[in-house]
Amino acid sequence: MEKIELHTKSRPSTVYCGEGAFAQATEFLRGKDIFVVTDSNVFKLYESFLKEHLPQARICVVPAGERNKNRSTLFRILDAMIDARLHRSSVVVAFGGGVVGDMGGFAAALYMRGTRLVQIPTTLLAQVDSSVGGKTAIDYRKVKNVLGAFYQPEYVFCDPYFLKTLPRREIKCGLGEIIKTAALDKALADKVLQYKDRLEDLSVLRDMVADCVRFKARIVEQDETESSGVRKCLNLGHTTGHALELLFGRRSHGEYVLIGMWLESFIAQEKGVCTAEHAEWVRRLVSLAEPKIPRFQNAERGVSFALLDKKNSQKGSVSVLLSSGKGEYAEAELSESEYCGYLMRLNRTGSAEKKR
Ligand code: NAD
Ligand code: GLY
């Protein structure tokens, strides 16, 4: 098990990664007033496990899925927290994927202006990315993560035990964020390429969790609230990824991020932000996960979602983050019609076929 410390201005955070992390969590939580937030799927799988290991916990179960990452579920959690008479030293435990982590974390940030927070991520995506770094949010009025707070958890416990029950599509989803990190971190990219034929094998992926957490921790330490620009690099592929997520809803966050990176590598190349070799290298990494590029009739609707993205700085334009190579990146503002032209290109691409 690896222990990774994250020092930010607001609050230090400690992340445990590896076998035994959950045992560490039970040790920390023993004797504390605990309020667990989880979702209906996770509860079905882990109800008896939770009751056995955290017998004193009050458990709030919310409906699973991104479409429930909204105002009404958030208030359901807050109501349950009030009914449970939580106090500021009670510990909110977000036990689930990124949706539960983002919403449970936001509820913890709001309740009495902040109660204690622990993240126990149960999806690969949440372990490699969303549980670390303190971003919490809900979606509102068709804008992803538009209401939220930066709120660091005291502890994050990433235990591979929970990954065994993940369906294949959720493993691919987590692989998406691993590949995004690899596009920013050469050492991880080398590892991904070394294991390119075994990228759906959990024994390989679970070993990359600590690599991703270490990388993200160093970025977040430099720019906790995404104000200096350093943290923005973690949004690679996300402008298009979020627009597709809102447009299609049914596929996974990580897969859409990969498709975003794929499309935005062409933008970077054509804008002269990176060399053709670097763009090709990004596409090669993306293609290792074989994301299926969706076909759509209405690119304008995709553009309308991208126009609402909170990263945009000018009305009527779409801001995309482009990898320029050597761990650096640039931002470009595209007009509505220019971005629409790129989105249309996805329809012509068909698939990100595997290139080895
Ligand atoms: P999710 O939370 O919806 O989980 C995916 C599915 O897996 C759900 O159906 C869930 O019930 C199920 N599940 C969870 N754990 C399981 C387990 N151990 N076994 C079987 N099934 C399990 O989605 P996600 O992919 O984990 O997270 C996506 C969310 O994370 C998005 O809302 C995205 O915006 C957010 N996100 C946040 C950050 C951040 O920094 N805060 C970063 C990346 C993504
Ligand atoms: N997932 C992007 C971030 O945490 O900044």
| 251 has catalytic annotation | no
Q: Residue holding tokens 């979602």?
A: 305
Q: Using CA positions, which residue lies closest to atom 37 of ligand 1? A: 130
What's 141-197 look like in SS3?
A: CCEEEEEEEECCCCEEEECHHHHHHCCHHHHHHHHHHHHHHHHHCHHHHHHHHHCHH
In the structure, what pLDDT confidence band is assigned to residue 301 with cuts at 50, 70 and 90?
Answer: confident
Q: What number of other Cβ atoms are within 10 A of residue 330's Cβ?
A: 14
* Cα 273 to averaged position of ligand 1 atoms, centre (Å): 32
- How far is residue 10's CA from residue 26's CA, in Å, rounded to a whole number? 25
* pLDDT tens digits, one per residue of 44-64: 999 999 999 999 999 999 999
In the structure, what pLDDT confidence band is assigned to residue 200 with cuts at 50, 70 and 90?
Answer: confident
Question: Residues 25-64, buried b or exposed e (16+ Cβ, 10 A)?
Answer: beeebeebbbbbbbbebbbeebeeebeeebeebbbbbbeb
* pLDDT tens digits, one per residue of 302-341: 888 888 877 777 888 888 888 887 777 888 889 999 998 8
Among candidate residues 69, 116, 206, 216, the one labeled active-site is 216
User: What pLDDT is recorded for position 356?
Assistant: 47
| 278 has catalytic annotation | no
Q: Using CA positions, which residue lies closest to atom 2 of ligand 2? A: 234
For residue 250, pLDDT over 70 is answered with no
**Which region among 89-93, 196-200, 322-326 has the lowest average model confidence (pLDDT)?**
322-326
Q: What is the mean pLDDT of the chain?
A: 92
Q: How far is CA 111 from CA 24, 56, 58, 80, 158, in A?
A: 26, 20, 16, 11, 25
* pLDDT tens digits, one per residue of 132-173: 999 999 999 988 899 999 999 999 999 999 999 999 989 999
Q: Measured from the CB, is residue 43 less than 6 Å from ligand 1?
A: no
What one-character-per-residue DSSP string does 3-43 give? EEEE--SS--EEEEESTTHHHHHHHHHTTS-EEEEEEHHHH
Among candidate residues 69, 116, 172, 242, the one labeled active-site is 242
* Cα 185 to averaged position of ligand 2 atoms, centre (Å): 15
| 231 has catalytic annotation | yes
Nearest ligand 2 atom, CA 216: 4
- How far is residue 163's CA from residue 170's CA, in Å, rounded to a whole number? 9
What one-character-per-residue DSSP string does 298-314 give? -HHHHHHHHHT-TT--S
* pLDDT tens digits, one per residue of 254-289: 999 999 999 999 999 998 888 999 999 999 999 999
User: What pLDDT is recorded for position 32?
Assistant: 97
Decide: 115 and 91 in contact? Cβ < 8 Å. Answer: yes
pTM over 0.85, yes/no: yes
